[in-house]
Structure 1
Amino acid sequence: MADWGPVFVAVVLFVLLSPGLLFQIPSKGKVVEFGTLQTSSVVIFIHSVLFLALAAVFMLAVGVHVYLG
């Protein structure tokens, strides 16, 4: 059976950490803005680092496993 845990974690984190979709760190005037749908290279870099760090924590340290079938 295939382990779908890493796939599930990656998809959920990708949706949640898409820059500007739910929130944006840093924003132009504040530290956090919600639902702006505007990005810059700094915002993309910070969200990418957050994605990689959280994905590593959930896949390696926590060990999320999902088996189907």
Structure 2
Amino acid sequence: MHDWAAPIIASALFAFLAPGLIVQMPGKESPIGFMNMKTNIVSMCIHTVLYGLLLILFLVVLDIHMNA
């Protein structure tokens, strides 16, 4: 039996936390920009840290499993 939680959670977080796709922190003109499809180095770094923290939360702290 394979545990599918890790790849599904990692893929979903990667897609939703891509800078500029849904939200960009910090935005160009405001602290948060929505769906502007643009990014910068600072935004990439912030999204990388959020991605890592959320991945640790879901996979280590909450210990989510999904068996197929």
Q: Which residue of 1 aligns with 2:43?
A: 43
TM-score, length-scaled by structure 2? 0.96
The aligned length equals 68
Q: Which residue of 2 aligns with 1:55?
A: 55
Q: Which residue of 2 aligns with 1:20?
A: 20
Residue 15 of structure 2 aligns to a residue in which SS?
A: helix
Matches of 1:32 and 1:41 in 2, distance apart?
Answer: 15
CA displacement at 1:51 relative to structure 2 = 0.1
The two structures, once aligned, show a CA RMSD in angstroms of 0.6
Q: Which amino acid aligns with 2:8?
A: F
Q: Which amino acid aligns with 2:20?
A: G
Matches of 1:52 and 1:35 in 2, distance apart?
Answer: 22
Q: State percent identity of aligned pairs.
A: 34
Structure 1: 4+ residue segments shifted above 4 A: none
